[in-house]
Amino acid sequence: MNFASDNTAPVAPAILDAIAKANAGYAHGYGNDDWTSGVERRLCEIFEREVAAFLVPTGTAANALALAHIAPPWGVVFCHTDSHIATDECGAPEFFGGGLKLAALPGDNGKVAPPTLQTALAGYGGHSPHQMVAAALSLTQASEAGTIYRVDEIAALCEVAKKRGLGVHMDGARFANALVRLNATPAQMTWQSGIDALSFGATKGGALAAEAVVVFDPERAKFFGERRKRAGHLLSKHRFLAAQFAAYLAGDLWLTLARRANAMADRLAQKLTALGLQLVWPVEANLVFVALPRALDAKLKTAGASYYLRPSEGLRLPADRVLARLVTSFATQEDDIERFVNLCKNF
Amino acid sequence: MNFASDNTAPVAPAILDAIAKANAGYAHGYGNDDWTSGVERRLCEIFEREVAAFLVPTGTAANALALAHIAPPWGVVFCHTDSHIATDECGAPEFFGGGLKLAALPGDNGKVAPPTLQTALAGYGGHSPHQMVAAALSLTQASEAGTIYRVDEIAALCEVAKKRGLGVHMDGARFANALVRLNATPAQMTWQSGIDALSFGATKGGALAAEAVVVFDPERAKFFGERRKRAGHLLSKHRFLAAQFAAYLAGDLWLTLARRANAMADRLAQKLTALGLQLVWPVEANLVFVALPRALDAKLKTAGASYYLRPSEGLRLPADRVLARLVTSFATQEDDIERFVNLCKNF
Amino acid sequence: MNFASDNTAPVAPAILDAIAKANAGYAHGYGNDDWTSGVERRLCEIFEREVAAFLVPTGTAANALALAHIAPPWGVVFCHTDSHIATDECGAPEFFGGGLKLAALPGDNGKVAPPTLQTALAGYGGHSPHQMVAAALSLTQASEAGTIYRVDEIAALCEVAKKRGLGVHMDGARFANALVRLNATPAQMTWQSGIDALSFGATKGGALAAEAVVVFDPERAKFFGERRKRAGHLLSKHRFLAAQFAAYLAGDLWLTLARRANAMADRLAQKLTALGLQLVWPVEANLVFVALPRALDAKLKTAGASYYLRPSEGLRLPADRVLARLVTSFATQEDDIERFVNLCKNF
Amino acid sequence: MNFASDNTAPVAPAILDAIAKANAGYAHGYGNDDWTSGVERRLCEIFEREVAAFLVPTGTAANALALAHIAPPWGVVFCHTDSHIATDECGAPEFFGGGLKLAALPGDNGKVAPPTLQTALAGYGGHSPHQMVAAALSLTQASEAGTIYRVDEIAALCEVAKKRGLGVHMDGARFANALVRLNATPAQMTWQSGIDALSFGATKGGALAAEAVVVFDPERAKFFGERRKRAGHLLSKHRFLAAQFAAYLAGDLWLTLARRANAMADRLAQKLTALGLQLVWPVEANLVFVALPRALDAKLKTAGASYYLRPSEGLRLPADRVLARLVTSFATQEDDIERFVNLCKNF
């Protein structure tokens, strides 16, 4: 019953196989290999345009490199209060960005609403050079609350951002989980709606350690290679990073894995709801947030269930409830859900 | 005939197996797994003392994190002119170190000699606060010239450094290749001689992407975890990084792989010498530097040999010679050496 | 009728004279002059202990250097939402601090309350290394709202901070204005209450461009000289910076100037109140915040009054009111106040 | 007999008067005053084109801000081995530049020769992204050796630089001293020869603390204001900075002061030569470098002469000689020269 994170899951077998298959003979280092160029082509295909892509081993690296690339050191990056870049990356955006600033915005269901951004932006400009400069917006898709921005929501946010000259970044650590929920293409969910740079995650989806920064306008990617290298994020045996991505993106694997993870979250959510437990946010990706009675939480932990509690200020939960985050993945088994749900009966 | 680099080689089978074996079930992320604690224990064993260890995916990350940890932003880090940190990391030490400065020192055979360091240090101090502060020494073991510091050489350099309060870092991307040449223990080659922090490489030795920063005094490692995290170098599925290291360090594998690589370099060197070709530096690790006639270089390249040429200023090679760097690895086959050497006959 | 800022005022005559007097003959550069050592001694006297002091030309420099000195790049600095470091220094703390983060805390009357700090701190720790580390508290004395922390308030905040290992900085751009309101010594208002580093401002008080960073424990000032130099804040003709401070601190000048500024604020506040205008915050230093009818604001501006409006969200002003900030200084004339107040009659 | 530095000299009387005159009434802060706009206009006049200009209090700030503006964090800035940015600014360029690197080039008479630059540049490019990127050239005019680049030398260096896409910076801490030696205009010595950004010094020339960064293409100055502010280099009572510059540039004062300083250097040099002492470099500005017998050095110091010795490696001075740097200024008196020279007789 491991619902701690999608990164506690193993590597999807097809991806592990790809690593093993790539382990034949010699290959040029640092991305000058066939796996890498193959991934680059595949990303162009998936996004239906020329893109520049840079593989890195972690999502934190992808986010921080992307943000530093689109925002100057005196720039302000707007993001949701609960976004990973604001809460869980130990200041990576600030470090890579030479001292840029994150401005955390509130928002229901883990999402920033266009009027909130607009109001925040109204506080910038007109006080140069004393105030930092509104520079970028970072959206998390799927969000940390397990919700999803609709394509028109992304477009609306990007419109607000673009009117003020901001670049827009998407943290897509769970990009596939979001995509398979929407009746939309990768292109529609990104550049066609105004996204400039994407952290395209594969690790949570089933890879070992593989993320891509996708810069939709290749012209804007100049010197990104240097930026990655000097951050220590250019792998020497790069073929093994690329092979993961190649396998992940081959055919529909990435979508299949994401559908599986999402389906498990749906199943879990439905069963918990049926028991009368209260979901805190809509389940739209592979995360289920549920208000658990403290006693039940203790019982579940004792029984070996693994998951994290989250701060719940502002959610007005009853005093005897805690906010549990249950994460599913491609590896989640129905059995595990069954056992977990059974433990929740008669709470 | 691939002698381009030890990072063009594949992953050693035992290490790949270990990755596959680690792929069973769930594991806590971010290093809170059994593989990681096992590696930490193993490193204490190998170095015969309590150490703090931090795994990262690249040597550039290991070096830059280590240097930033032992030198302040106004610090000068002394290193050899040809050191990787000075020539090949696109300013990673300067970036991680908040603008620290590398002072490149000349030195025969790719090594810094104690008097050279002493002379350089004489130029520091006494001009505070106008001048940057002598802060650290970084040694490369084995060196970029394929040579090796003897234990007493390391001790002598550290003594010079310590007298001036410098921290000492060892770039051990080819740590094992050096170690197996010396009649010395890992402890003798490092902290017992004065090394404070080590970049302990496994990637060139046969791993997929695995390096460790070893801080010999655990007290000095405070906040290194934060430093690594905010650089994006804490892997979420950390067990796969640790599993590589665990396999690499299990029994004598790491030493066996290094001995194999070194033996191949010896063999290549002996055969080239026998043909009358001139080695430029002593072959003490897994790198062979040879002065090739331009025509032979062309012939070899045409025949499919893969290797890099290096700048040769200061070496006084005849005008018709180029400096070729031939790197062997655990994967190098005797056949390849044979073919290469045969092509060199009658040059 | 200039109430725009205390930095629109001229230089106090005694300070200008001191600059002129210092202009005789040669003096060693970079602080190796008698004026500088005199100021250092005088600061020890004023603070009743050995201190280390570093003069710089701007308050932004003083704040950013001080914060970078007491907080690491992965550190969080707690400060009031309206603090100058958060709103008006274009990211100087983040830049000097290598990407540190300001956590802005709300607080009535421009002041942080100990429980607010305590609550904020409760959100830190326990999530290492993913979260930035609570590292420092910065208090503004007098605050941007023109209010003053009492000595026991400072002590209470420092106690909360110290329990968590935080360093404490005081932004004393208006240090003298605060001090003369309190029945307290400079020592009591700072290190005896727990302050580690002080930005001691003279510019707003009557100097041309002179601020001091005072580090109360001289041991902790190591390499501050290098930090200042590499930020470009070590003046070559340093005697002229020191001469300003020497004159400012000679006898009671600094206190006299501050009393004058404060008295003018009192006078202005009393007269505006008498007219029925509403003061928004208590007037405790040299700033008066008043809710002006828009029509009156227009009338005053037309008549040549100079002052700034401030955002007033959260203050629940009537819709037809704006929040005006009126700043007095040592140079404010009673006539100006008279004219301003007369314009306000029958608003 | 103070020949220690031109910054040990006092402020030129006309500049001090200007400060005093500026001290009447109120003025907007942060450069929104008439003195500042006047200086901006005057600089356009002097350089015969629209320029963007930013006043700062120190030369280190001017240099570091300018370099950070024209070179990225992964950029290499070429400069002379003895340049102030390389030896005396405690890493300010590296700090402001986010970890950029200075590549120090040798050169006779303190000057970089075009072939030296060309050779250095040949070592860059072709190794992306491993190597830092050749990004800028910084020339010191007058040089630290007291010599001067001729206009055609500047143009030749800029041509080499521009072919490789480098930006070019001039450190003009002694800009006026150089200019008055040449039969050239400020425009010819800078942008017409290819200079992109100039640190235009007034402090050494007679100001209290006043330097300007002049960006010749105003389009390239975007966000320089933010850059200066977040470095703490935007003075609040900015009028006093601008007033210094206004006075310095009014009429021919700046040229007159520089001619005076240069003439004193010439006089000193001629008299020392006449005594048989050996000048080390041509005297072209206000610096005289002379090889002094150690005994004479001791005698001069005992007699109260103030000057610095410089390292003399590479100069092949006789063992009993030291390299003395004698700096003159607008304030140097003929009497002082007479006394100094008399002491040198019969050495």
Tokens of C69: 């000195």
pLDDT value for A140: 98
Cross-chain residue pair C29–D65, CB shorter than 8 Å: no
CA end-to-end span of chain A, whole Å?
18
pLDDT of residue B347: 75
Residue D165 touches chain A, beta carbons under 8 Å: no
Quick one: C178 and C34 in the same domain? yes
Q: Decide if D304 touches C, using CB distance below 8 A.
A: no
Of C65, C154, C59, C148, residue with least CA distance to C109: C148
Q: Which residue has the tokens 């093993």?
A: A20
Amino acid letter at A250? A
Beta bridge pairs of residue A200: A172, A212
Q: In which domain, by residue range, is B20 found?
A: 13-249
A6 falls within a domain: no
Structural domain contains residue D210: yes
Distance between CA atoms of residues A154 and A168, nearest Å: 10
DSSP codes, A154-167: HHHHHHHHHHTT-E
Shared-domain flag, residues D108 and D207: yes
pLDDT at A313: 82
d(Cα D257, Cα D176) in Å, to the nearest integer? 8
**Beta-carbon separation of C60 and D27 below 8 A:** no
DSSP state of B318: -
CB D301 within 8 Å of CB D262: no
CATH of the domain at B288: 3.90.1150.10
Q: Answer yes or no: is B4 within a domain.
A: no
Contact D14, D202 (CB under 8 A): no
Q: Output the CA angle A37-A38-A41, nearest 5 degrees.
A: 85
Tell me the pLDDT band of C211, cut-offs 50, 70 and 90: very high
In a domain, B220, yes or no: yes
Residue A306 near chain C (CB below 8 Å) = no
The identity of residue A213, as a single letter, is: V
What is the Cα–Cα distance from D119 to A228, expressed in whole angstroms?
28
Residues A130 and A186 in one domain: yes
Same domain, yes or no, for B135 and B152? yes
d(CA A206, CA A7): 8
Whole-model pTM: value is 0.98
DSSP C89: S
Shortest Cα distance, chain A CAs vs residue B196, angstroms: 21
Cβ of B101 within 8 Å of Cβ of D123? The answer is no
Q: Report the pLDDT value the prediction gives residue C28, as an integer from 0 to 100.
A: 97
Boundary (domain end) residue, out of C196, C228, C249: C249
Counting one residue from chain B and one from chain C, the pairs whose CB atoms sit within 8 A come to 44
Task: Indicate if A104 and A165 belong to the same structural domain.
Answer: yes
CB C178 within 8 A of CB C189: yes
Chain A touched by C72 (CB under 8 Å):
no
At D46, list the tokens. 């002097």
Query: Is D111 part of any domain?
Result: yes
The CA distance from C342 to C337, in Å, is 8
| CB neighbour list of residue D340: distance below 8 Å, 6 or more residues apart | D1, D3, D268, D300, D305, D326
Please write the tens of the pLDDT for every residue from C282-334.
999 999 999 999 999 999 999 999 999 998 888 889 999 999 999 999 999 99
Which chain A residues contact residue B92 at CB under 8 A?
A: 229-232
List subunits contacting chain A, requiring 3 or more Cβ pairs under 8 Å.
B, C, D
Of how many residues is chain B composed?
A: 347
Note whether C8 contacts D26, CB cutoff 8 Å: yes
How many Å apart are CA C57 and CA C42, to the nearest integer?
Answer: 19
Does the pLDDT value for residue B14 go beyond 80? Answer: yes
Same domain, A135 and A165: yes
- Tokens representing D244 are 């210094």
- pLDDT (tens digit, 9 = 90+) per residue, D107-157? 999 999 999 999 999 999 989 999 999 999 999 999 999 999 999 999 999
Q: What Cα–Cα distance (Å) separates residue B120 from each residue in A328, B93, B112, D323?
A: 58, 20, 11, 20
Mutation to test the B interface, candidates D74, D83, D90, most B Cβ within 10 Å: D90
Sign of CA dihedral D293, D296, D301, D307: negative
Q: Is the pLDDT of residue B128 over 90?
A: yes
pLDDT digits (tens, 9 = 90+) for D169-208: 999 999 999 999 998 999 999 999 999 999 999 999 999 9
Residue D5 in contact with partner chain C when CB distance is under 8 A? yes
Domain-located, residue A5 = no
Residues C133-152 have pLDDT tens digits of 999 999 999 999 999 999 99
**End position of a domain, from candidates C234, C249, C264:** C249
Residues of B whose CB is below 8 A from C225: 128-129
Distance from CA of C72 to the nearest CA of B (A): 10
Same domain, B108 and B159: yes
Q: Which of C98, C129, C226 sits opposite B133 (nearest CB)?
A: C226
Same domain, C171 and C36: yes
Q: At A191, which CATH number?
A: 3.40.640.10
| Residue D262, pLDDT above cutoff 90 | yes
* A230 interfaces chain B, CB cutoff of 8 Å: yes
Q: In sequence order, what DSSP letters do the residues of B23-41 get, joined into one string?
A: -SS---STT-SHHHHHHHH
Pair C227, C268 in one domain: no
- Interface check for D99 against chain A (CB to CB < 8 A): the answer is yes
What's the domain count of chain C?
A: 2
D43 in a domain, yes or no? yes
- A230 neighbourhood in chain B, CB within 8 Å: 60, 89-92, 94-95
Strands A287-293 and A211-215: unpaired
Q: How far apart are CA C166 and CA C196, in angstroms?
A: 10
Question: How confident is the model over D274-301, as a mean pLDDT?
Answer: 97
Average pLDDT across chain D, whole number: 97
Give the ipTM of the model, two decimals please.
0.97
Question: Are residues B203 and B300 part of one domain?
Answer: no
Whole-number Cα distances in Å, C52 to C37, C145, C213, C216 = 11, 29, 8, 6
CB contact under 8 A, B237 and A64: no
From C97's Cα to the closest Cα of chain B, the distance in A is 9
Residue C55: other Cβ atoms inside 10 A: 27
Whether residue D133 lies within 8 A of chain A, CB to CB, comes out as: yes
Tens of pLDDT, residue by residue over B79-97, are: 999 999 999 999 999 999 9
pLDDT digits (tens, 9 = 90+) for C45-94: 999 999 999 999 999 999 999 999 999 999 999 999 999 999 999 999 99
Across residues B227-242, what is the average pLDDT? 98
What average pLDDT does the structure give for chain B?
97
**Amino acid at the residue C154:** I
Distance CA D340, CA D265 (A): 12
Assess whether A190 and A324 both reside in one domain. no
User: Which of D195, D221, D249 represents a domain boundary (last residue)?
Assistant: D249
Within 8 A of D130 by CB-CB distance, chain A residues are 30, 229
| Residue A72 forms contact with D (CB below 8 Å) | yes
Residue C277 CB contacts under 8 Å (≥ 6 apart), including other chains: C290, C291, C292, C344, C347
From D255's Cα to the closest Cα of chain C, the distance in A is: 21
Return the residue of C nearest to B72 by Cα.
Answer: C223
Judge: C94–A87 Cβ closer than 8 Å, yes or no. Answer: no
**What is the number of helices (H) and of strands (E) in chain B?**
14, 11
Residue D152, classed as helix, strand or coil, is helix
Band the pLDDT of B315: cuts 50, 70, 90.
Answer: confident
Quote the pLDDT of residue B332: 98
Note whether C91 contacts A101, CB cutoff 8 Å: yes
For range B227-239, the mean pLDDT: 98
Summarised one tens digit per residue, pLDDT across range A49-107 is: 999 999 999 999 999 999 999 999 999 999 999 999 999 999 999 999 999 999 999 99
Taking 90 as the threshold, does the pLDDT of residue C346 lie above it?
no
CA–CA separation, C242 and C96 (whole Å): 24
Rounded to a whole number, what is the distance in angstroms from the first to the last CA of chain B?
Answer: 18
Q: Does B32 touch chain C (CB under 8 A)?
A: no
Give the closest-approach CA distance of C54 to chain D in angstroms. 15
Q: How far apart are CA A308 and CA A325, in angstroms?
A: 6
Q: Cβ separation of C88 and A132 shorter than 8 Å? A: no
Nearest CA in chain D to C205: D237
D120 domain residue, yes or no: yes
A310: distance to nearest CA of chain D, Å? 36
Query: Would you call C324 helix, strand, or coil by DSSP?
Result: strand
Cite the DSSP H helix spans in chain A: 13-22, 34-47, 59-70, 84-87, 92-96, 114-122, 151-163, 175-179, 186-189, 224-230, 239-249, 253-274, 294-302, 334-344
State whether D334 and D196 are in the same domain.
no
Distance in angstroms (rounded) separating the CA atoms of residues D214 and D48: 13
Helix (H) or strand (E) holding C92: helix C92-96
Identify which of D130, D230, D234 has the shortest CB distance to residue A74. D230
Interface check for A82 against chain C (CB to CB < 8 A): the answer is no
pLDDT value at residue B85: 98
**pLDDT tens per residue, range C225-234:** 999 999 999 9
